Chains A and B, each alone.
Chain A
Amino acid sequence: MDDLYREVIIEHYKNPSYRGYLDPHDYAFADSNPLCGDHIEITLRVDDQNRISQAAFQGHGCAISQASADLLLESIIGKPLEEVKHLDKDYVLDLLGLDLGPVRLKCALLSLKVLKAGVYGLGEAPDSLVE
């Protein structure tokens, strides 16, 4: 339980490296977690080989949701878009180094859901994207 607020999470929450909004961008998507009102918007730029060259997020929410967004974006810089499409729940949990209960899992996975909905060009972000 104390793990939940490990230094790395508090650090990424308080001093995120990827907070912002890219204008122009190649991909953008935003969604909320209706349960707690967490909100995340992600913008991406890709290079001519369709690799992610820049990424940014903005929004508000709990430490878990915001830190996982920052860690996620940090981890995908340089990755091909195709690879991002296949990232899953365990990938994010590995980044966080956490095992979460059902309520907080939604917080942790919001950024991945938003990222994948944006990359797939979907009009909405269904939960099935991160299951």
Chain B
Amino acid sequence: MTFDVTQIRADFPILQREVRPGVPVVYLDSTATAQKPLAVIQAMDDYYRRSNANIHRGVHTLAEEATALYEQAREKIARFINAPSARQIIYTRNTTESINLVAYSWARANLQPGDLVILTEMEHHSNLVPWHMLAMERDIRLEFIPVTENGLLDLEAYHKLLEQTPKLVAFTHMSNVLGTINPAAEIIRLAHQAGAVTLLDGAQSVPHFAVDVQALEVDFLAFSAHKMCGPTGIGVLYGKADLLEAMPPFLGGGDMIREVKLRSFKPNALPHKFEAGTPAIAEAIGFGAAIDYLSRVGMKNIAAHEHEITQYTLERLEEIPGVKLFGPSAEHKGGVAAFTLEGVHPHDVAQILDQDGIAVRAGHHCAQPLHEKFHIPATSRASFYLYSTKEEVDRLVDGIYKVKKYFG
């Protein structure tokens, strides 16, 4: 289909709203969470109105319908990332829980004291703290691929680190601050050559461009629905079948078991082995609707549109005296523009922009070590998605000039 941003915006009820009378919302915070199209809201509403029931094991009509919808969504997700089978799609709460699942199940079964895990300096806290916790418990070693001044990973340093034969290389596909899109295929290939397993944090990549797990040959991929037009409370861990099969269960409870005795249990088959308790059923169905929506628009179209908006944003922000941008040039970057404004704290920038309905985020964006690396406590961050427009970027630029006037 042809890409028409006006048409796309009409699909998102929230984008029609005014923050205050006469002040339409300019939503530039999609990296934190994306807005939801009507199709997703309706899918969840329909489920609760028509088909609500607990899934699996029920034999009545509603339970059959709920189970079918829940499992169809899993199949849509599998196709979306080109997973070999839907049983390799584990529902979790979010990217964070997916990474924790790997840290608790795979890593605790496979890593010994002294083993090396390679991360990067641009990780979100969700791909740092689970490994800190494991390092405290297991005495594993953590090393970090450095970030260069222009916001790229230092791959020469990575080559050196690989000589220490890591057991795991866990890294972000796209930085939520710098916007850097890392060369995942190459990083994974080199990790495999060194004998390491790989975990890709796809929280920012899967929503914004086509990610093919078989082409990447990645061992684990984690991502969240809410950053890709789906609801909060549901995410995915994809894993290679042999790895998932060999892993011990994570959370124990109903649905993840084949058989329970008073003093023992046998775990269920994939993917249910990792899905204890009543899951987020409506959210899974909403996630499926989000995948349908994104697929209809086309990930190539989305990526191209965001690239155009990002390029325009960087050009416009660079014109403003006192603005300093972080991260690489547009060709290595997704739809994120993190910046500082000389003499004004990012929190104040965000607050003054809010007066004009412009929603940006201010802070360290859950990437404190990265901000320390660049010697800044915080940045303001504008981020984009398929519904973002150049007019919104213009409003952002006008807003920043207004901030400058306040603090003149």
Give the interface of A toward B (CB within 8 A): 1-2, 4-5, 10, 14, 35-39, 60-64, 66, 104, 107
List chain B residues, Cβ under 8 A from A64. 347-348
Q: Does any Cβ of A come within 8 Å of B363's Cβ?
A: yes
Judge whether A60 and B407 touch: CB under 8 Å: no
Residues A10 and B347 in contact in the complex (CB < 8 Å), given A36-B362, A36-B363: no
Judge whether A37 and B378 touch: CB under 8 Å: yes
Interface string of B84-100 (1 = CB under 8 A from A): 00000000000000000
A/B interface sample: 15 pairs, CB < 8 A = A1-B355, A5-B348, A5-B352, A5-B406, A36-B346, A36-B363, A37-B364, A37-B377, A37-B378, A61-B345, A61-B377, A62-B351, A63-B407, A64-B347, A64-B348
A45 CB to nearest B CB, Å: 28
Judge whether B351 and A10 touch: CB under 8 Å: no
B361 CB to nearest A CB, Å: 11
Judge whether A107 and B347 touch: CB under 8 Å: yes
List chain B residues, Cβ under 8 A from A104. 351
Judge whether B377 and A60 touch: CB under 8 Å: yes
List chain B residues, Cβ under 8 A from A5. 348, 352, 406
Judge whether A62 and B407 touch: CB under 8 Å: no
12 further A-B pairs in the complex, CB-CB below 8 A; given A2-B355, A104-B351? A1-B355, A4-B351, A10-B407, A14-B407, A35-B363, A36-B346, A36-B377, A37-B364, A38-B377, A62-B351, A63-B345, A63-B407
A38 CB to nearest B CB, Å: 8
Q: How large is the interface on B (under 10, 10 to 19, 20 to 34, 35 or more residues)?
A: 10 to 19
B199 CB to nearest A CB, Å: 27
B355 CB to nearest A CB, Å: 6
Judge whether B363 and A37 touch: CB under 8 Å: yes
The chain B residue with its CB closest to the CB of A39 is B377
List chain A residues, Cβ under 8 A from B363. 35-37
Interface string of B35-65 (1 = CB under 8 A from A): 0000000000000000000000000000000
Distance in angstroms between the alpha carbons of A64 and B347 in the assembled complex = 9
The chain B residue with its CB closest to the CB of A2 is B355
List chain A residues, Cβ under 8 A from B343. 14
Distance in angstroms between the alpha carbons of A62 and B406 in the assembled complex = 14
Q: Which residues from 338 to 370 on chain B have a C-beta closer than 8 Å to any C-beta of chain A?
A: 343-348, 351-352, 355, 362-364, 368
List chain B residues, Cβ under 8 A from A35. 363
Q: Which residues from 352 to 408 on chain B have a C-beta closer than 8 Å to any C-beta of chain A?
A: 352, 355, 362-364, 368, 371, 377-378, 406-407
List chain B residues, Cβ under 8 A from A38. 347, 377
A110 CB to nearest B CB, Å: 12
A124 CB to nearest B CB, Å: 20
The chain A residue with its CB closest to the CB of B362 is A36
List chain A residues, Cβ under 8 A from B344. 63
List chain A residues, Cβ under 8 A from B351. 4, 62, 104
The chain B residue with its CB closest to the CB of A59 is B377
Distance in angstroms between the alpha carbons of A66 and B345 in the assembled complex = 10
List chain A residues, Cβ under 8 A from B355. 1-2
Judge whether A62 and B352 touch: CB under 8 Å: no
The chain A residue with its CB closest to the CB of B407 is A10
List chain B residues, Cβ under 8 A from A107. 347
B187 CB to nearest A CB, Å: 30
Distance in angstroms between the alpha carbons of A61 and B363 in the assembled complex = 10
The chain A residue with its CB closest to the CB of B347 is A62
The chain B residue with its CB closest to the CB of A63 is B348
Distance in angstroms between the alpha carbons of A37 and B344 in the assembled complex = 14
Distance in angstroms between the alpha carbons of A36 and B345 in the assembled complex = 10
A32 CB to nearest B CB, Å: 9
The chain A residue with its CB closest to the CB of B352 is A5
B321 CB to nearest A CB, Å: 17
